[in-house]
Structures are given as C-alpha cells and as structure tokens.
Structure 1
Amino acid sequence: MSATARTSRRTRRPPRFYFSLRSPYSWLAYRDLLQRHPRTAVALEWVPFFEPDELSRNLLAEAGGAFPYTPMSPEKHRYVLQDVRRLATERGLAFSWPVDRNPVWEVPHFGYLAAARHGRGPEYITLAARARWERGQNICDRSVIAGFGAELGLDPEELAAASDDPGMRAEGVRILLEIQRDGVFGVPFFVDHYDKYWGVDRLPAFVAAVTAKNPSLAEPPDDPDDPDAADDPGGRLAEPERSVDDGHAGGCG
C-alpha cells in the first residue's frame, strides 16, 4: 500500500468523542456538546470508555491489550466532588451523586452499544445521564437499564443483558483496543486525527479545530428572538434528590 493510500485511510475516520456514562465530566461535556455545538456533535464518532470487568480484562489480555487505568487518590476524589458541583452550578444544572456499589460498567455501556445498533444511541445516553446524574440511580443495575427500553421503543432485555452477549463482548474488546491505540487515559477525550484533547475545558479548542477543517459544522449566530435557543438538550432537569457520596477508587475524569 502506498503512503498516499495509508494517509487517505487514516484521514477518512471522523473525529472521536470518548465518553463514559460513569464520569461527571463526560456528562458535562455531553451537555455542552449538544447544547452549544450540535452540528459538530452529529459529525463525531461517539466511543464509550468503560473500566473492564474480569471477563473483559481477560479477553483484552488475550488480544494483546491493556487498559490504561490509574486509581484515584482520596484527595483527587474530594476535589472532583467540589469541582463538578461548581461546573454544574455554572450551567444551572441540578444533580445527585449516585451510588456505585460493585459496579459492572459493561452493563450500561454495552446497553448503549445495543441501543446504538438500532439508531437510538443519543437517546440512550440522555436517559442514562438523567438516571445517574439527576436521579442518583445505579445505572449498573440491569433493571434500571431495562427501564430505558419502553422509552426507546427497544427490547428491555436486549439492553439489560447486552453484557451477556459474546458478540457484544468482542465489540467491547475492539473498543478497549481502540482506547489503547488512541492513548485515551481519561474522559472526556477528543481525538481529531493526530490531535488529542482531554477534559471538558478542551471542548471549545477541539470544536474549533474540527470546524476549521469543515466550516459547514460551524454553528450559526444565536438568534436572540428564538425562544428555543437555550433549550435543555437532555430534557427538563429534575429537582435535586438526596446527594450521596459513595466514593470509588477509579478516576472519573
């Protein structure tokens, strides 16, 4: 294969947004992306980032991969609690810290993959984000994921049991290898060809780079007379529920 052909193959892949349904920073980036940069949002490849369970780790090792995981210190965790509350308040968001006890992150993220196969990925993320960050629900609970089925018009069992599907497990390994190849070490993480951007505060720079290459993705100027200009992309925000801090060892940002 010629160098030109290799370059063409690389450049055909769209910019990517690595997100995690676990991460509050991913939640904030997701909302900013949809609310402020909807044209860019639809042009991106959305890739779930999830901490693998024992089965996924074993399958990943067999494929020659490894997960870039660094435990979060208690100091960083306390900082995240403060920082996310500040950032959410700036955006006028009410949220509730969820309880994560013995989580299996394949459950919600493979549920996303199942929904995405039916073209309902964005709607699934909206429901998962609302459940986790507004209602404080455990999205690793299969009954919570099954509850999305009726709202999405999809089979609840297909969503809730996606992590039991060997084909979905293979897809998960492919994604984990992709995470390693792109050097993703935290979320939200944005990739534009060779350029990488980490963190919700890097979203504007990423969008600027993407729209510079594709001006058709630039947003039109805001219309001050448009009553829908400031609509909430995730639906009406719920009132804050009881806040819970269960803590966890892993980094979420």
Structure 2
Amino acid sequence: MRVKKPPRLYFSFRSPFSWLALRRLEERLPQAREIIEFVPYWDPDPITAAGLEERDAGFHYTQMSKAKHLYILQDTKRLVAEHGHRMAWPIDVDPWWELPHLAWIKARHLGQDRVFYDAVTRARWERGEDICEVDVLSAALEQAGLDPEPLVSAVDDPAIREEGLDALVQAWHDDIFGIPYFKVGRHRFWGLDRLDAYLDVLLPTLQELPVPAATTLDDVPVPVLERVGGADHDTAGGCG
C-alpha cells in the first residue's frame, strides 16, 4: 500500500479511551508523535458550531445515554486496572472543550504540545481535575513548567479559533464519529481495541511516509517489528 498522506489520529481530552489508546500507542511506537498527524476533536461551543454551519460541515458525534455513560465508566476502570494505570474519574459540569483543545493547538505552535498533552491528561485522568476551567488548566500547565497565559488565552485568538475550526471540518469530511479514530491511507480504525490492527497496517508503510529523516525503521521497537514480520512490504498481518 502506497501512502500519499501521513497517518492521522483524532484524539480528545474528553475521552478516556483516547487517553488509554495514546498511552498504548507510544509504548509500542515511541516516535508516534513525529510519524502521525495528531488532530484534536471536541464538542463545539456555539461559536464553533456556527462556523461549522457556515462551512457546510457538522459534527457526527452524538451525546451518549446515561446507560452507555455508566458502562464506559465501568469499562474504563476495568481497563485501567488491567494495565496498572492510576486514574481518578473527572466530573464534567458544563465543560467548555474549546479551552483545552485550542490551547493544545497554540502549544503546538510553540513546540510545547507534548508537554502540554502530558500535563493536561495527568490533570484530567490521574487527578480528576476539571481541565475546562481556566484556573485549573493554568495550574496544571504551571506545574509542568509552561507559561499558561498564551495557552489559555488561545480561545480568544481568531487565528487559533480558525485552525480549530479547520480541524473539526476535516473531521467532518473524514466521517469521524467517535474517538480515538485512526487513519492510514484508505484504512480506518475506531476505538482503543483497534490499535493493534492500525499498527499492523501502519508499520509496513513507514518507509513511504513523509516523516523526518531521523525517524527510520531502526527506531521502531523490536517487539513491534517482530509482531508484524519485521515491517516489510508484504501483506500486513491482522484485519483492516
């Protein structure tokens, strides 16, 4: 399979499955953030929703029922315990998801997106903090050694707002309906349990991807290479 575009990963600070999937992904492929295009995805506020409408786009995700929410709570606790992670379930009260996601876009401009992501996911999933509150997010960023002011003020930056809108328009055209969502070439994978299948397709394509010169197959962990037959160009193992 020839890949013309870099692989893409839609993530959200809201989703526990996104958090767990990215942890597992980087355990298997430490260079993931250099190889894969990360795209933020979140429930739009009225301003963003109006922008989507103006661009003939929408938002495929629909709010879950109480029953589904309770199942996800139980399932997430089970998965966290299975993998030995620490977790404190956050309580979201009228969350404003633009705040952390647009701040992440600003952090990416500043070359701080990795530190930002780690700080925010620790705050949300390990300490149960409300990262949609300015004071809480600022404190988490300060604790990570970042200057919070330019990051939390990103929601007031028209250029960052437009870039965030572009991400959600792209998600609309990519038919993203849930998180995490992985794409490589024509292949699509939704959910934490599809991560291995995604890697089965992704790894054999790495030599064809427009990635930094320093990233080579030699950088890929041996256990991952062995699992997909040395990341050669034969048919990828597993289903797509």
Could you say whether these structures have the same fold, taking a TM-score greater than 0.5 normalized by the shorter chain as the test?
Answer: yes
Are 1:177 and 2:169 counterparts? yes
Partner of 1:66: 58
Aligned-partner Cα distance in 2 for 1:169–1:214? 32
Number of corresponding residues: 213
Partner of 2:222: 220
Q: Contact conserved, 2:100 with 2:132, CA < 8 A, in 1?
A: yes
Partner of 2:28: 36
Q: Contact conserved, 1:190 with 1:197, CA < 8 A, in 2?
A: yes
Partner of 1:79: 71
Are 1:201 and 2:201 counterparts? no
Aligned with 2:84: secondary structure?
Answer: coil
Q: Quick one: which amino acid aligns to residue 172 of structure 2? A: Q
Q: TM-score, normalised to structure 2's length?
A: 0.84
Could you tell me which of 130, 139, 144 is aligned with 1:138? 130
1:155 to partner: Cα distance: 3.2
Aligned-partner Cα distance in 2 for 1:118–1:143? 21
Aligned with 2:183: secondary structure?
Answer: strand
Aligned with 2:31: secondary structure?
Answer: helix
1:19 to partner: Cα distance: 0.4
Aligned with 1:190: secondary structure?
Answer: strand
1:57 to partner: Cα distance: 0.3
- Consecutive unaligned residues of structure 1, counting only runs of 5 or more, are 1-7, 223-253
Deviations 1:47-91 (A, max 9, x none): 111110001000111111111121201111111011001100011
Q: Contact conserved, 1:18 with 1:189, CA < 8 A, in 2?
A: yes
1:99 to partner: Cα distance: 1.6
Are 1:46 and 2:38 counterparts? yes
Decide which moves more: 158-167 or 132-141: 158-167
Aligned-partner Cα distance in 1 for 2:140–2:123? 10
Q: TM-score, normalised to structure 1's length?
A: 0.79
- Consecutive unaligned residues of structure 2, counting only runs of 5 or more, are 208-216, 225-240
Are 1:160 and 2:152 counterparts? yes
1:149 to partner: Cα distance: 4.1
Partner of 1:232: none
Q: Contact conserved, 1:142 with 1:161, CA < 8 A, in 2?
A: no
Q: Contact conserved, 1:143 with 1:160, CA < 8 A, in 2?
A: no
Aligned-partner Cα distance in 2 for 1:109–1:195? 26
Aligned-partner Cα distance in 2 for 1:41–1:159? 20
Q: Contact conserved, 2:80 with 2:86, CA < 8 A, in 1?
A: yes
Could you tell me which of 68, 72, 89 is aligned with 1:97? 89
Deviations 1:117-167 (A, max 9, x none): 111111111111100011010000111222244355543111111111111
Q: Contact conserved, 2:4 with 2:185, CA < 8 A, in 1?
A: no
Partner of 1:106: 98
Q: Quick one: which amino acid aligns to residue 199 of structure 2? A: V
Q: Contact conserved, 1:19 with 1:188, CA < 8 A, in 2?
A: yes
RMSD: 1.8
Deviations 1:221-242 (A, max 9, x none): 49xxxxxxxxxxxxxxxxxxxx
